[in-house]
Amino acid sequence: MGYTNYYNQETDFTDKEWSQIKDEFAYIIEQAGETIVVQYNTDDYIQINGNPGCESFYVSKNARKEKEYDDQDVSFHFCKTRELPYDIYVWHMLVFIKGMKASQGKKDFSISRDR
């Protein structure tokens, strides 16, 4: 079994929002030390992993728009962390993004997790 974090990204992030996300990402990398490995850190995409057997966590500046199958909710994403130390960094990023959006009165990014 796995422990999973869920999030919905309905819209693209603005340049200002993405800059704040990237800054927070840099802070997380600094704090995490060897707990997580940066897999990608590009102008519009970040991806980390923290444990063999866990899924990579990623966030993209641009919301997914292309469906792979009928009835797919393209805003839906998830990351299984098995509630290992890596999980706190994934959850931190999700809470940060949700709070940033909420402070602007936006409801286009939602989060949840198992339990």
Question: From the first residue on, what is the mean pLDDT of each consecutive set of 10 residues in the chain (115 residues)?
Answer: 88 98 96 92 95 89 95 96 91 97 96 92
What is the per-residue pLDDT for 30?
95
pTM exceeding 0.95: no
What is the per-residue pLDDT for 49?
93
Q: Are 45 and 61 in contact (CB under 8 A)?
A: yes
| Strand ranges for the chain from DSSP E | 4-9, 37-42, 45-49, 57-60, 76-80, 109-113
What is the per-residue pLDDT for 52?
79
Show Cβ contacts of residue 94 under 8 Å, excluding neighbours closer than 6 positions: 5, 7, 111
What is the per-residue pLDDT for 54?
84
